[in-house]
Amino acid sequence: MLSRVSAVACCLSLSALQVAGSAVAMELPLPPPGEDVVGQVQVVEARYEDTFADLGVANDLGYLEMVAANPGVDPWLPGAGTPIVLPTRFILPPGPREGIVINLAEYRLYYYPKGQNVVHTYPLGIGREGWSSPVTQARITAKTPNPGWYPPQSIRDEHAADGDPLPSYVPPGPDNPLGPYKMTLSVPGYLIHGSNKKFGIGMRVSHGCFRMLNNNVLELADMVPVGTSVRIINEPYKFGRSAGKVYLEAHTPLDDEGDAAAVDRHAAVINTLIRRDDLNALNLDWDVVREVIAAEDGLPIEIAAPEHGVVQQSATL
């Protein structure tokens, strides 16, 4: 079994042959039955003017997932010629592949169009500390182009306290924080919408709603009918199969206080693994699992291949 470092290097050496300078089309074919991994990691060479925010917008990636996949690289001045990892390979979220699935821990939305063998995936801005986005089952109840915004009193009070008072109504246009489109959820007070700010997509920045890049929200709204289910989960650790191998993708766990250190990561991984009955005939490499948990880089890393043994859930993980 490769160490995590070797596995990443191998993955990148293959993906580098597929590098393209244009934006990634994040419509990905679904894997065969019984498999969970979609897309390919890519590498681009930074230009002098590039920032992680720019590269994220161009490739449908959020800011924090760019930072996690490129440890040690300055996100605001990577430097001309610096290889930049684009984390465009994903383990699909657990559960039914239908409707919209939002995974808070990876700041990402997945949409499975009915009757099509594809998934569309987009980065999201989610609720910041104190305004956390809910983990729940919902549906889209309305779609509104060019929405106006009536700021809730709680948000008006917050802005007033910061010396930035808001009007009672913000009309459609470039100053509207809802962007060009909003989709209302059945959970009162929550929306999926665009934004008048590019920075913040893929971060904890909102008052609980889900922010998208404007081109993404317009594309999604064109595909998604009213009544579509919206399943919101918080899964920092995802296990998946692909081509006879098993992968683990790790993200920084979230809690309402933003204190990731309070989470028992190893216990969370074991609990996630226990829910995957199909992995019980495998012998996991726990050294690699520990490295993946520590890295939290959002990249699917191989942790096992099919064997006739059983999963050995080491107490020393």
Contact (CB, 8 A) for 128 and 155: no
286, containing H or E segment: helix 286-295
Nearest Cα neighbor of 268 from 254, 247, 282 is 254
Nearest Cα neighbor of 246 from 272, 225, 264 is 272
Q: Determine whether 159 is an active site residue.
A: no
Q: Which alpha helices (DSSP H) does 60-191 contain, by range?
A: 63-69, 153-161
272, containing H or E segment: helix 265-274
Nearest Cα neighbor of 141 from 14, 243, 228 is 228
What distance in Å separates the CA atoms of residue 250 and residue 247, rounded to the nearest whole number? Answer: 10
In degrees rounded to 5, what are phi and psi of residue 143?
-130, 130
- Residues 11, 207, 209, 251: which is the catalytic one? 209
Pairing of strands 245-250, 210-211: unpaired
- Residues 193, 207, 251, 266: which is the catalytic one? 193
Residues near 205 by beta carbon (within 8 Å), at least 6 away in sequence: 125, 126, 128, 211
Contact (CB, 8 A) for 14 and 217: no
- DSSP-derived secondary structure for 103-123: EGGGTEEEEE-TT-SEEEEEE
Q: b/e for 218-254, b at 16 or more Cβ within 10 A? A: ebbbeebeeebebbbbbbbbbbbbbeebbbbbbbbbb
Q: Determine whether 209 is an active site residue.
A: yes
Quote the tokens at residue 60.
């449908």
Contact (CB, 8 A) for 297 and 70: no
- Catalytic positions, please? 193, 209
